Each structure stands twice: as structure tokens, then as C-alpha cells.
Structure 1
């Protein structure tokens, strides 16, 4: 059953949403907060609702999740999820809880009460630290980790988040501090100088590596190859948690209808062993933003398809190399190959995100490609 507790501020209560209770008000509240922001891109309901469903999304197989709503006078003024990701804690040997799907009016009392409800819930489950927001983890396919703190004048690209400028202040007022900043780089043109492109191709050949597009007809095996690289490449990265086979299969299923196989690249050795991969997507937010209610059906799909054909921007989501190849230059070869393909397909600009602020190798590579950081996302944390 749901539980309610009085909170600071006149008429303010925070309650845990009961298992089995409809989450539609929880979902709809995003429109209350962001609906008038011209840069906000609404989530697709058909994508978000299954993520929250404990019976449908594989994340819930290894995590405990509680949803909370802050209400004032019977009206929702904030929402949040508290999460214990057992896979994360097993991998890192920690007792860290997280929060996610945070939305709140500019109301410090409501935000503080929501975050306090999360910390109480996490503390009761043995956690000694909390970080967030994550939706639900750094592997999330729904939106990026953190709170946007710089770059409010442009819309987010596909699978990146956007929020009101006051969110950072709400976390700070509740006693949370910076844990990590993530950067989004704008690539003004994917065109790569011929000399650089040819040099990268020669480097790949010298290393005996082949770069190819993903084979959609052999998708199950390709997903396994990418998962092998992914879980090896990021094993030492901040915030990383290995994706389970079920999560990877779910993500592949979600992306299959929209992925451009030419923009999903695998680097492999002569014996076929995968050693790196790059995933880029057309910036579908350029089409989704024309669906103000977040619904594809029954009529939104026609708007989506109309605008999808006109997308000229791309987001580079992921570039990963197995540990033995991470400083070999092959990652740069994979990246320039991807940009050259994107340019050849008519894409005019793009975003590379997200990149840890303290990843000097990637930040330097972005600088050399003429890209510049134009959005900053902050993950907050605090001890319990």
C-alpha cells in the first residue's frame, strides 16, 4: 500500500506510490514542469512507461525501486524514484543507492522532502551513499544521467535529458554536492579532412583491424559481440555497471527500428574477435519534439515519419575499445570512420555525448575534431 508522511511546508506530503497503482500521474507530471519550455522534448510514452514497469523492464530483475510523489493540497508538485541497483553494488563492492526520474516545481520544500524520502528509504535498505539522478543507471536508454546545469538554450538530442535551470539549486539546497560532471560536445560538421581519414585507415590496416557496419540480418550474434566489448571497455569507468544479457537484448530490440546500420560500427581482428564498436543514431528528437503529448499513436506517427526524413543531425552515443586497444589510436580511427560515413549520408552536424569531464583523452580528441562542449550535466551525491 502507499504510505504518506507530512513534510516541511504548508499542506505538503510525500507518499510512496503503491505497487500496482497507476503510474500515469507520475509520467504526466513531466508535462506540468516542462510543458511550456520551448527546448524540452517530451518523452515518448510508449518508451517511458515500460521502463517504469517492474514487470516489463529487465532492470527491475536486479534492482529494488520505489516511486514517490510530493503533493500539496492534493496536487502533485514533485516526483522521484529511489533505487537500489544490486548489480552496481556487487560490481563495485559498495552500498550506493541512486535516485532518478526527478521532476519538481521550483519548490525547495517539495524537492527537499522528496529527496529525504529517498534517503530514508535507501538508508533502511543498508545503503550508505546516494547519487543521482540516473534513469535508472549509466546504461539507461531513456535519458542521460545528471541534471542539466549549462546549455539550456538548445533542445536535447536523442536519449539526452533537459530540465529547468533551477534543478541544480534544488539539489544544493537539500545538501547534495557535485559527484561528477558529464559533457555534451557539439560537432559543427561531421566532415573529416581526407588526410586525417586516410591516416586513420592506414593505422587500422597496420593493426590488422577491420571496421565494418553491423549486420542486421545477424543481429543476435552482433549484439553479443557488442556486449562483449561494452562490458570490457567500460569496466574501469566511473559509474559503470555491466549490462545483463536481458538488458542488452532489450536495448537492441528498442533501437532496432531506428538504428541506421551504417552508423553502428564494429572493429574486429582478422579472426573475427570484436575489439571495438561505435554507435551513433540520427537525432530522433528532431522529430519527437513535434509530438507535444508524447504519443505516437494513432496520429503522431505520421508527424514523426514526416520529420524523421528531414533529420540532418546525429548523436554519437558510444565509442568503446577493449582495454588492450584503448590507447592504440584505433578508437580515433573508428571515430573518424563513423564521422566520414555520417557526412556521406548527408548529416550536417552532431553531438558526442556523454563524456566525463575528467576524461582528458576524449576531451582532447573532441577539441582536435573541432567540437566544443555546449552542455553540462551534473550528477549529485551525498553520504547517508
Structure 2
């Protein structure tokens, strides 16, 4: 027998945070988020997103052993006020335990006036989203979703159905084709009067965060799960990158000093994390060979003027110059036809992973 318990005390939190280590104990590809970063996610003093996000966490206990967990979250800024979110889902391969977790999450959301549950989305739709459904043999980049293949069966067996897919692309210099098309479009964009590319100033995360938030709120309004980004959230995000990202990998495209595009890349520290996990302590590790392009956004008025190509060309040149051998471009919604076309035809990249957002009508 098992029981579902609401996380309310230090012992519960310890169980909640430690469960993934048990689920993925024998999986060499698991790339855990640092424990301190996990704790900060739930701390209102550390995570400004919690100003408009409300959450409850639950764990499943079986014979005093933790066998599952889930987060039920609501976002005051989410456009569709019928929708609540689930995230942080981890569970043994047990349909009944899964059902118990989702019943608890659904009841929590229903009590807050929600009639639809969507996810996975950890805390809100601006943070980690999606369930990995294709690409299990490939190691995840740091902070990217990763889960056992049986999670798909557990969700669909509990009445969830696919809402949308998100793609991850892999770029390798030696495999790229048709880049002359990309460079031609980028060259045309470079002729726009007043246009320039410049690194983001990580010494001024507050000022740069204002520009990033404004650009986000222009570029993402038509995307699933859009919530407005506040200046404090953007500044917090940029400050978090400061410790491990080369500032040259973060840059704006501006026209007359007004941002019209942004590209944010981070080095893949996954191999280092996995090596430390394998040996039980940090080990010396060479420079990362892979990048993740996590944000690539263009203001609507400039989407047909080649600015995306200009950003991608700049990203490729920086990556090659700095010795990166490959890059992951993620997550791209399947509905983002323009960006998917640019990546597949002009850049020459191919989908290497697929992530899925699920939905279910709450029935309690």
C-alpha cells in the first residue's frame, strides 16, 4: 500500500528533493540540477517567479520509502485562467502510484478554481517544460528535461493526451548544409539602417534584464503558456548565467539601440556533472565542447527581415571560434513554423529529441 502526503516539513522536503537520485540511480545519462539550485527554486527570496506562482508539492510513500512526487502550480499571469500546471513529476513504474499523485495534484488545482491540468512545467511555463518522448539514448544538456521512457505510458494511462510537441535540434559543423542561404539572408539583414549586434553586459543585469523582459514580452505572446516576464525575473535569470557562461555567448541585436532580437547560449556542463556523479566527487574536466542555444527571439516587425539568420550566423561564428564542436537548439515549438524552417533548411540541423506537453480535464 502507498499513501500521498502533502510536503509540509523538513523531512518531507528531504524526501521530495532526494527522490530523483533513487529513480535514476542506475542511469548514466541522468544530469541532476545542483541541490542548492533546486532549493532556490522553491524559495520566494531567491526565485522572483514565486511572486505570481502558487504551488503545492506532494510525495508518495510506500512502506516508508519515497516512490513518487509531483508539484501542482498555478500562475496568476497565465492567460488561460482555467489552466493549472503539474511539474517535478518523478515516479516508480507503478500506474496506481501515478494515479494517486495526479489525483492529489488535480484536487489541489481544482480547489484553486482550475479545470484543466497541463504539463510537465516545473513551477511555470517559463522554466523547465516538456516530457522527453524521443531521444533517450542521447545525454541531456544541463537544465534540460530528462526522464525514463515509461513516464509517457504512465501519463497516457492516466488520461492525459498530447497537447503539443517541442523539438530539440543538434547542429554539427561538419554536417551543416546550405549555409550559403543563411549567410545571404544574414548579409541582407546586416544592411538594415542602425542595426548592430552587441554582447549583453552581465555587470548590469538590472538594465539588461529590462531589455530582455521587454523583448520576451514581444516575441512570446502567441506561444503556448505565455506569461509576461518581469524585469526582476529577467535580471535574476541573467545573474544566474554569470557564474558559468562566457559573456560573448549572450548578445542582443539592436536597431537604433532598441533590442529587436536576442540569442542566449550556454556551455554544456552535463559531461562534468555526470563525471562528478559517477566518481562521487568533482573531477578535473576539459573545456565544454557543446553549447545550448536556449533563447533565440526576434521582435515581430523584424521576423521577415532576416534578423534570425543574422543571430544564427553570429552564434555559429562565435561557437566555431571558441572551439565548440556542436550545439543544441531547444526548445522549439512545433507550431513555430518559421523558426523550424530556418533551422532545418538554412542551418542544416535535424531534430534529435522530442518533448511533449500533455493536457487533461480535471475530474474530481
TM bucket (normalised to shorter chain) is: over 0.9
**After TM superposition, what 4+ stretches of structure 1 lie above 4 angstroms from structure 2?**
19-22, 190-196
CA distance in 1, matches of 2:200, 2:158: 46
Unmatched 5+ stretches in structure 2:
none
For 1:380, the equivalent position in structure 2 comes to 358
CA distance in 1, matches of 2:221, 2:48: 20
CA positional deviation for 1:198: 6.0
CA positional deviation for 1:249: 2.2
Residues 86 and 20 of structure 1, relative CA distance in 2, 3 Å threshold: farther
CA positional deviation for 1:349: 0.5
For 1:229, the equivalent position in structure 2 comes to 215
Determine if the alignment matches structure 1 residue 103 to structure 2 residue 90: yes
8 Å CA contact 2:170–2:350 kept in 1: the answer is yes
Residues 288 and 185 of structure 1, relative CA distance in 2, 3 Å threshold: same
Task: Give 3-state SS (helix, strand or coil) of 1:290's partner.
Answer: helix
CA positional deviation for 1:137: 2.1
Residues 169 and 259 of structure 1, relative CA distance in 2, 3 Å threshold: same
1:215-266 deviations in Å (ceiling 9; x for gaps): 2343332222122111211112111111222322221221111121111111
Return the match for 1:170 from 154, 174, 198: 154
For 1:82, the equivalent position in structure 2 comes to 72
For 1:159, the equivalent position in structure 2 comes to 143
CA distance in 2, matches of 1:42, 1:159: 8
CA positional deviation for 1:138: 2.6
For 1:64, the equivalent position in structure 2 comes to 54
8 Å CA contact 1:185–1:372 kept in 2: the answer is yes
Determine if the alignment matches structure 1 residue 282 to structure 2 residue 267: yes
Return the match for 1:265 from 251, 265, 269: 251
CA positional deviation for 1:378: 0.9
Determine if the alignment matches structure 1 residue 334 to structure 2 residue 318: no
The CA RMSD measured in Å over matched residues stands at 2.1
Number of corresponding residues: 359
Determine if the alignment matches structure 1 residue 180 to structure 2 residue 164: yes
CA distance in 2, matches of 1:294, 1:170: 32
Determine if the alignment matches structure 1 residue 292 to structure 2 residue 277: yes
Return the match for 1:319 from 289, 296, 301: 296
Determine if the alignment matches structure 1 residue 37 to structure 2 residue 27: yes
For 1:7, the equivalent position in structure 2 comes to none
Unmatched 5+ stretches in structure 1:
1-10
